[in-house]
Amino acid sequence: MIQLKNILTVAIGVSVAALLSGCAKELNQTPQSTANNSAIFGSVQGLQLYASSFYDGLASAATTVRGDDQYGDADYGARNSIPLYLQDSTFNSQQATPSSDWSWTTLRNLNYFIANVSIPNVNIPTSVQQNYIGLARFFRAYFYYNMVTKYGNVPWIGKPLGTSDSALYSAQTDRTVVIDSVLADLDYAAQHITMTSDPTASQVTKWVAYGLKSRVCLFEGTFREYQTKYNLGATAGDLLTQGAAAAKAVIDSGGYSLNTAGGAGTDYRNVFINTSPLANEVMLSDVMSASLSVYNDANWYYTSGSYGTHYSLTRGFIDTYLNADGSVYATSDNATFQQETANRDPRLAQTIRTPGYKRVNVAAPPNFSYTVTGYMPIKWSMDDPAFDNTTDNTNSICLMRYAEILLNYAEAEEELKNYGGAGLSGADWTKTIGALRTRAGLTGGLTLPTTVDPYIQRYYSPQASDSYGALTITDPVLLEIRRERGIELVLEGFRFNDLTRWRRGTLLARPWDGIYVPAVNTTIDLDGDGKPDVCFYNTGTPPSAVSGVSYVPIGGNNGTSLSNGTSGRIYYLNNGHRLWFDYKYLYPIPYTERLLNPNLVQNPGWQ
């Protein structure tokens, strides 16, 4: 929407200039300072100009690029410090200020618009007004979905409020009522938004509304299924049915496909580093523009020694990637970096630096100035090092893409087996999970699975914790869908919501593990090009320096250790206290907000 918003800004300026010029000729016009809102709500152009402001409520490029690293939100990520959110008795509601997303300005803007569009209007066709109301209701649904996933019960406000309105001090509305209202908004949006395609992928279309509905329904349906303490399981099946139907509507529209233009070795990553959104797959994007000076800082964030968190993937997650032939990877504690990355799902080499990765034709193995585990992300980073110390990335950031819709459909259909459904068919597996793996370049694992991978079963089955009993998932199809979702959507900001609805928050307390180090004080060639890249040494004086080699101290206060002392797997901040408690599935209501509105009830566990 960046491009459209700037165009509309210019249009506003031209309109105001014309109005001021006209006032000099016709002094009997209503002065602008006393004009009512008919200037906006009385014309199609006015509605269009107002509606451009809605897009400010979307996730930003920066939020999306590091969406799994805001509060230690992902099990698959290690960073250079332990997130406060995962420290016992450290993070509390007094630290959750209004800037922690408890902000209602966006909602007021939307409600004001909805309340002031008058149907019928002799100047504007009804269908046009309904289109813009549908757009506003889409963004209201988007706003409330994000609030519910973070805070649970929140006040539902469906009208603009004045400064003396008692509803400003409303108590929370039950999440079931809020979700019903969200779905009503999305149904209206899907029915009335008239745009069905957008080559810029920057505007909300009818199919984006269906896509968001599939996201909402999958989250809430599985949340109610697995978060059993809320006793909402009886309503999960209906939500999953609606979610599957919404995803199928997008699929059946025929307007989207997976990007396959570059070949199996590049077409996955090209979705994330292309300047123009690949609109065959990308349904909604935050578009960057050098001409408008709109950039993101993905390179700086992931490849800077002083900026960012040195976010790195962990070995436990890397082990979930299949082999290239679709077989299960046989994990080994002593596998070298070259060995464990060879002949794997090609998306691995498009997600992290692996042997053979180059930047401007120069070998670029993992750099331990920027990574703490050795599994260094490249998914959002452009390959030109010129971007590494700037905020000038021009790659557009996708906010919704067709791959997610395929995953939403597959999971909702398979979960419906628990509610009398048939589950995902072989044909639908081929169209969804099989299609994603085929695009990636896997030669196997393309048909409906019949056996359970024990590693994935342990990884993705909810475990016993403070409030629940253990639950072992025995459905091989569902487990493979979860594997696929983790791999396909890694680093796109979905992970904490997925862990929440699957009741797998305990994964956030897993050790941060990394690559295998054969021995200290010995240089290692990570990418097999015959040149040493890194040397781990015991704290003290490093070995004699070799050009091009990074030296990483082991032990002491630097946080890095090896599983066998002088060799083995890297463990980072292994002595740090990262603890998970089930009340952290919901974020605390900010302390300052509860002082302002005593009717707000704190989420359990945060008192």
Q: What is the predicted pLDDT for the residue at 5?
A: 46
Residue ranges, the chain, pLDDT below 70: 1-36, 88-100, 463-470
In order of 84, 118, 360, 379, 605, the CA distances from 394 in angstroms are: 32, 40, 17, 14, 43
Distance CA 602, CA 606 (A): 7
* Token pair of 116 as six digits: 């002031």
Contact predicate 600/593, CB 8 Å: yes
* Contacting residues for 573 by C-beta, under 8 A, at least 6 apart: 78, 81, 82, 512, 559
CB count in 10 Å sphere of residue 566: 16
Q: What is the residue type of 441?
A: G
Distance CA 440, CA 326 (A): 11
DSSP state of 234: G
* Contacting residues for 435 by C-beta, under 8 A, at least 6 apart: 258, 406
CA neighbours closer than 13 Å in the CB half-sphere of residue 174? 5
pTM (2 decimals)?
A: 0.93
* Token pair of 521 as six digits: 């004080």
CA angle 146, 149, 155 (to 5 degrees): 75
List helix spans (H) across 203-319.
206-226, 236-253, 267-273, 298-302, 315-318
Q: What is the predicted pLDDT for the residue at 33?
A: 44
Contact predicate 312/351, CB 8 Å: no
Q: What is the predicted pLDDT for the residue at 575?
A: 76
Maximum CA extent, the chain: 87
Between the CA atoms of 370, 376, 382 and 385, what dihedral angle is there, to the nearest 10 degrees?
Answer: 40
Q: What is the predicted pLDDT for the residue at 31?
A: 42
* CA dihedral for 233, 237, 240, 242, sign (positive or negative): negative
Phi, psi of 348 (to 5 degrees): -60, -45
CB count in 10 Å sphere of residue 342: 16
Contact predicate 233/240, CB 8 Å: no
Contact predicate 142/106, CB 8 Å: no
DSSP state of 52: G
Contact predicate 202/194, CB 8 Å: no
Q: What is the predicted pLDDT for the residue at 98?
A: 52
DSSP state of 523: E
Q: What is the predicted pLDDT for the residue at 14?
A: 34
Phi, psi of 125 (to 5 degrees): -55, 145
List helix spans (H) across 444-542.
454-460, 476-488, 495-502
Q: Which long-range contacts (CB under 8 A, 24 or more apart) does 92-97 make?
A: 92/588, 92/591, 92/606, 93/588, 93/589, 93/590, 93/591, 93/594, 93/602, 93/606, 94/591, 96/587, 96/588, 96/589, 96/590, 96/591, 97/590, 97/592
Phi, psi of 119 (to 5 degrees): -105, 130
Q: Which residues pair with 282 in a beta bridge?
A: 401
Q: What is the predicted pLDDT for the residue at 89?
A: 60
Distance CA 119, CA 129 (A): 7
In order of 32, 45, 133, 213, the CA distances from 39 in angstroms are: 10, 9, 17, 33
Q: Which residues pair with 352 in a beta bridge?
A: 377
Distance CA 313, CA 317 (A): 7
Measured N-to-C along each axis, helices 175-192 and 126-151 cross at an angle, to the nearest 10 degrees, of 150
Q: Which long-range contacts (CB under 8 A, 24 or more apart) does 122-129 make?
A: 123/42, 123/43, 124/42, 124/43, 124/44, 124/47, 127/192, 127/194, 128/44, 128/47, 129/47
In order of 187, 267, 349, 425, 542, the CA distances from 434 in angstroms are: 30, 16, 19, 12, 49
